[in-house]
Amino acid sequence: MREYLDLVDRVLTNGIRKHNRTGVDTLSCFAEHYTIDLSKGFPLVTTKKVNFKSLLHEVLWYLSGDDHIRNLRLHTKIWDAWADADGNLETAYGRFWRRFPSAQMNPVTGQYEVREIDQIAEVIRLLKTQPESRRMVVTAWEPGNALFSKLPPCHYTFAFNVFGTKLNCHLTQRSGDIALGIPFNIAAYAMLTQAIAQDVGMEPGFFSHTIIDAHVYVNHIDGLKEQLKRTPKPLPQLVIAHKPVDDLRFDDFALLDYVCDPSIKFDVAV
């Protein structure tokens, strides 16, 4: 996928060395952006192997609204470093996607009361009833939570926009680990866009991505340089059963014709 490799090249070429909380320096660029045409195939990186099963389990976990990883860790360990021994997670994306706490004043008592908003359900409702709306926004950033969370949301807000019969998605990410996180982020939001598009009778359009701090950890540089030597292969296809989003399960997804280069080992910075 050329868009990803171009991003890697830009950050390696132009990145400024920065210190960060992990203790491993990065090469960082500000406000990187690119757009991917989802009609050309499912944007799963082909210049290294990406663990599609872990990716799929993660997306389904987001959609479940769980605020723990007790079920997720049965299938993948990708969130274990940020959860406690019981699997509770301070910042679980799906919790905010499906149960965002909204404080609203009760006109009778004059007191604020908190109710939970299912942002995904609201997006689907608008797509079915007012597809021209510019208010189809989902956020995972809750300021109070971000004050104490071990890892506040990186990909913290996304918005959908319709052109004709095409559903487009724009993701804004405050922090992006180019080697490990970004390939997952691209594929996860492409998968989500395709699933929602099918639910509302549309087709996937474009995925657009802004990364505010786009960075390469210095111990990932050699692996990414190796990846840049590889030639992207044709993108695979993702087939999703025609079901409402909330009815989708692991076996409703099939990845077809995924041909990729071997894995490259990148250490996770915690």
The residue among 251, 227, 222, 221 whose CA lies nearest residue 239 is: 251
Q: Coil, strand or helix: which one is 194?
A: helix
**Residue 203 forms beta bridges with which residues?**
166
Asked if 176 contacts 214 with a C-beta cutoff of 8 angstroms, the reply is yes
**Catalytic residue annotation:** 154
Q: How far apart are CA 236 and CA 158, in angstroms?
A: 24
- Give CA–CA dist 44/250, Å, rounded: 17
Within 13 Å of residue 34, how many CA atoms lie on the same side as its CB?
17
Which has the closest alpha carbon to 264: 6, 115, 45? 45
- Return the closest-CA partner of residue 55 out of 46, 44, 65: 44
* Alpha carbons 4 and 52: distance in angstroms, whole number: 17
State whether residue 208 is helix, strand or coil.
Answer: strand
